[in-house]
Amino acid sequence: MAETASVANLRVDYIDRPLGLESTRPRFSWTIEGSGRDLKQVGWRVQVAADEAALGDGPCLWDSGRVESRRSFDVAYGGPNLVSRQRCVWRVSLWLDGAAEPVVSGASAWEMGLLSPDDWAADWIAATPPVEGAGNTPLPAVLMRRKFATLEQPVAARLYVTALGAYEISLNGARVGDAHLAPESTDFRRRALYQTHDVTQLIGVGENVIGALLGDGWYASAFAWKNERGVFGAPPNRLRAQLELTFADGRRETVATDGVWRCAPSPILRSEIYDGEVYDARRELPGWSAKGFDDSGWAPAFPVETLDLPLSSQVSPPIRATLRLKPVSLSQPSPGVFVYDFGQNFAGWARLTAEGPAGTEIQLRFAEILGQDGQLSTENLRGAKVTDTVILAGRGQETFEPHFTYHGFRYVELTGFPGEPTLAALEGVVAHSDCEVTGTLETSSSLIDQIWRNSVWSQRSNLFGVPTDCPQRDERLGWMGDAQVFWDAASYTMDVDAFTRRFLGDVRVAQRRTGGFPDVTPYELRWDGSPGWADAGVILPWTLWRKYGDTGVIDEMWEPMVRWLDWIAANNPDHIWRHKRGVDYGDWLAVDAVKPGDETTPKDLIGTAFWAHDAALMAEMAAASGRPDEAVEYAALRERIGRAFEAEFIRSDGSIGNDSQTSHVLPLRFGLVPDALRQASVERLASDIAKRGNKLSTGFLGTPYLLDALADNGREDVAVGLLLQTEFPSWGYMVSRGATTMWERWNGDTGDVSMNSFNHYAYGAIVGFLYRRLAGIAPAAPGFSAVEIRPLDDPRLDRGGGRYVSVSGPIETSWRRGDDGRFSLDLTLPPNTTGRVRLAARPGQTLLEGGRPFDGAARDETGALTAEVGSGGYRFEVAS
Ligand code: BGC
């Protein structure tokens, strides 16, 4: 009922109350809370003003007036362009169907960032004057502090800060924010991110102090297996910070990094992303960041010339410590060597508590697996030293967490510990980009639930500012292929909208002049254009738009996406992607491959299938974003590629390419198989799976779509069989071997150690299928304003369901098969959405809702019973 509804989750650019927004035409979204059936919005009005009072009786910056529309997201701001630092307050009024009076939301606010380089008064400062050739050795971290006084209490205080390196910053001794490893990884030659903090509460009248700890971070760590340092140029340990105090009369004072800052050595002797941190607690200076500390012996900071480096505001969730884990066991495989097992592979670090004489040196090493002898096995970490060293100050019980490094591990080895450690001496700290969890799932199969959990843990471990391939070895790079295959799953499990938008900003700056999208972002490997990898430049924006309904991402990426498609077309006039396929990884790590990139499926087939897919997605995105001509153009391109694909790869008996599983999966999923041959193709795929003993043979590119290709073409039975398989190669095999995260290789337990991560999310892509076909929740329109509810029905599974918090509100399903075999589904759809339910049924069966025959039930082409519903709670049953 309309009276009981309220407006919730007011978001600007899909972010809750952002500071430092940069879009001058942001987009609004909201959800409606209420439990009535068929609750829907028929009109909205957005008001934006400088303060809350003005929302009541103006003047507004923008007042949309009443707009007759059901749209509750992707509503673009229509006022005058916004300017740096501008604070905006907004609210929305909604008219619900059948209600005369609008429901009015509370006020929400956002604030603009520093939009122009001229807004930065702060110098870059360093603790030492620049030295030629520096930047090639890890530097000790430094302390920096700056005193300042205020005569009056400011009404607002904002701290804008970034570094060439990584920083932790405090005001009057209190840590500002809870981000780790800021600023996150970018191509620092082209852009860096700054963070905006509201520090109003931390400023006092009289003396105040800003303190910063500054280490190497991503900027200065050696990169990947090349072990190159200083790839970004200027020496590290440079800070740029600007504190702006606004007083009641509107006056603004700025305290910025300059030559007045003072510097001293810190207890961190070395810190490095891959290698770890060395911390000497004897060098701690208690109270150094608080008021009243005597810094007269500290050296002045040096303002340093730093090339014009574009700074962008970080509005994506920071890397945070989100969970603490207790170890599950402790062993001593050899005298003085203690090994902790956390029972879970994850990314983060360990928190150590110890007591001992000053100078005691304790070492922590990290690994994903143990050898036969119970010792750490670290060969798969390659060049990464992943070692933290702590030197005790001898001040009683001391606790240590590293500042500027992270590790991917399940086991920690402790040596040099004074005495015998207990389990309580170590805790695991789980860290990652703190994207909100939006999806959960549960079935009657504990195996499938564990596959889902493993994928979620690999997702947690690999959202580290950018989407990384792995968190442990000397790599941890933004591999585009891995992200692309995983993003359907990722965007169910977590709200990755802002996270991905930030990453796509890096993709844009990394795009080659020719139009090639990179294979890895942001790090410069100079590899680009590989099918299934570079295509992430199109697939990620499309995935965001489908999941979050935001056409802003299409606008941001449109021109780069066009250039990418133009580049493929320019090199491949006959519409088969034969030329310029970059490094051409193919169906990477497929089961039959001896070497990772072996051609187990023809690579021109893979490339052409992805090109067709790109063209189809471009046509859809063009239509959605007000580009009708381009929609026609890309649909025509898709047609041409489709015809060429068919002529080149598909034969009249339904065989495709070399008849590998991936040869069928990609064209089936991308709609490239003519209707008349679909069944033949699916049967070939199914029979290859059967021949192998109900086993898959796919690699990175085929696997994500394998189960859909089967289930969408009438072979749900084979799809479920693959899911429940526990012999090699399968997801279940990993679980049967004790995996707690997804493995990089199907044969992680026996594969080549030089490339064998146990925490790689790519094969976790299958979780997208689990949400769509086991929870049964899929978008039927962008942003889930229409939902397809289509749980599959298989006698081996008696129960399933899930919950997904969409931008339209939470969607919930729970289904079971009763003792009598009767299939029932509980469904809740949020206000302002519609649903199309499709439940498998035998001839003669009927659809009940709430115990009564459902009016309007129909059958689709597969024989499934269908029902169109509005919002609210439903109980469906398939009855005989
Ligand atoms: C990474 C991958 C990546 C691949 C490219 C590997 O080293 O870990 O996951 O996609 O290289 O071929």
pLDDT tens by residue, 507-535: 999 999 999 999 999 977 778 999 999 99
DSSP string of 403-449, one letter each residue: SS--EEEEEEEEES-SS---GGGEEEEEEEE-PPB-EEEEES-HHHH
pLDDT at position 238, please? 93
pLDDT at residue 305 tops 90? no
pLDDT at position 134, please? 55
Mean pLDDT of 111-122: 97
Q: How far is the CA of 789 from the centre of ligand 1 (A)?
A: 35
Q: Which of 479, 517, 598, 606 has most ligand 1 atoms within 8 Å of its beta carbon, as the pocket-test mutant?
A: 479
Q: How far is the CA of 469 from the centre of ligand 1 (A)?
A: 7
Give the whole-angstrom CA distance, residue 92 versus residue 107. Answer: 8
pLDDT tens by residue, 648-690: 999 999 999 999 999 999 999 999 999 999 999 999 999 999 9
Residue nearest to atom 3 of ligand 1 (CA): 479
- The CB of 474 under 6 Å from ligand 1? The reply is no
Q: Are 295 and 145 in contact (CB under 8 A)?
A: yes
Q: How far is the CA of 231 from the centre of ligand 1 (A)?
A: 21
- The CB of 404 under 6 Å from ligand 1? The reply is no
Q: How far is the CA of 484 from the centre of ligand 1 (A)?
A: 12
* DSSP state for residue 597 in the 8-state scheme: T
Q: How far is the CA of 745 from the centre of ligand 1 (A)?
A: 11
Mean pLDDT of 299-311: 90
Atom of ligand 1 nearest to the CA of 585: 12
Decide the pairing of beta strands 41-49 and 87-96: antiparallel
Residue nearest to atom 4 of ligand 1 (CA): 479
pLDDT band at residue 249, thresholds of 50, 70 and 90? very high
Which contacts of 223-231 are long-range, i.e. CB under 8 A and separated by 24 or more positions?
Answer: 223/523, 224/474, 224/475, 224/476, 224/477, 224/523, 224/525, 225/382, 225/383, 225/474, 225/475, 227/383, 227/474, 229/135, 229/136, 229/137, 229/138, 230/134, 230/135, 230/136, 231/523, 231/524
Q: Which of 480, 525, 588, 742 has most ligand 1 atoms within 8 Å of its beta carbon, as the pocket-test mutant?
A: 588
Mean pLDDT of 541-567: 98
Atom of ligand 1 nearest to the CA of 700: 10
pLDDT tens by residue, 40-80: 999 999 999 999 999 988 899 999 999 999 999 999 999 99
Percent of the chain past pLDDT 70, that is, above it, reads 99
Q: How far is the CA of 536 from the centre of ligand 1 (A)?
A: 14
Q: How many CB atoms lie within 10 A of CB 675?
A: 7
Q: Which residues are catalytic?
A: 475, 744
DSSP string of 456-513, one letter each residue: HHHHHHHEESEE-S-SSSS----BHHHHHHHHHHHHHHB--HHHHHHHHHHHHHH--T
Q: Are 236 and 165 in contact (CB under 8 A)?
A: yes
- The CB of 470 under 6 Å from ligand 1? The reply is yes
pLDDT band at residue 224, thresholds of 50, 70 and 90? confident
pLDDT tens by residue, 693-714: 999 999 999 999 999 999 999 9
- C-alpha radius of gyration, the chain, whole number: 28
pLDDT at position 223, please? 79
Question: How far is the CA of 447 from the CAs of 411, 444, 518, 739, in angstroms?
Answer: 24, 9, 36, 11
| Closest C-alpha to 832, from 99, 38, 76, 8 | 38
Residue nearest to atom 12 of ligand 1 (CA): 585
* DSSP state for residue 402 in the 8-state scheme: -
Mean pLDDT lowest among 10-19, 146-155, 363-372:
10-19
pLDDT at position 133, please? 57
DSSP string of 664-679, one letter each residue: HHHHHHTT-S-HHHHH
pLDDT tens by residue, 411-433: 999 999 999 999 999 999 999 99
Q: How far is the CA of 519 from the centre of ligand 1 (A)?
A: 9
| Closest C-alpha to 825, from 860, 866, 796 | 866
Q: Which of 458, 469, 761 has most ligand 1 atoms within 8 Å of its beta carbon, as the pocket-test mutant?
A: 469
Does residue 286 sit in helix, strand or coil? coil
Residue nearest to atom 9 of ligand 1 (CA): 469
- The CB of 160 under 6 Å from ligand 1? The reply is no
Phi-psi region of 793 (alpha: psi -120 to 50; beta: other; left: phi over 0): beta
Edge-to-edge strand list for the sheet holding 865-869? 777-779, 786-789, 834-839, 865-869, 858-859
Mean pLDDT of 474-495: 97
Atom of ligand 1 nearest to the CA of 481: 10
Tokens of 575: 């519409």
- The CB of 584 under 6 Å from ligand 1? The reply is no
pLDDT at residue 2 tops 50? no
pLDDT at position 457, please? 98
pLDDT tens by residue, 718-732: 999 999 999 999 999
Mean pLDDT lowest among 238-242, 270-274, 749-753, 761-765:
749-753
pLDDT band at residue 135, thresholds of 50, 70 and 90? low
pLDDT at residue 1 tops 60? no
pLDDT at residue 235 tops 90? no
- The CB of 366 under 6 Å from ligand 1? The reply is no
- The CB of 588 under 6 Å from ligand 1? The reply is yes
Q: Are 262 and 144 in contact (CB under 8 A)?
A: yes
Average pLDDT, the chain: 96
Give the whole-angstrom CA distance, residue 769 versus residue 705. Answer: 8
- Write the burial class of residue 780 (CB in 10 Å: 0-12 exposed, 13-18 middle, 19+ buried): middle
pTM of the prediction? 0.97
pLDDT at residue 765 tops 50? yes
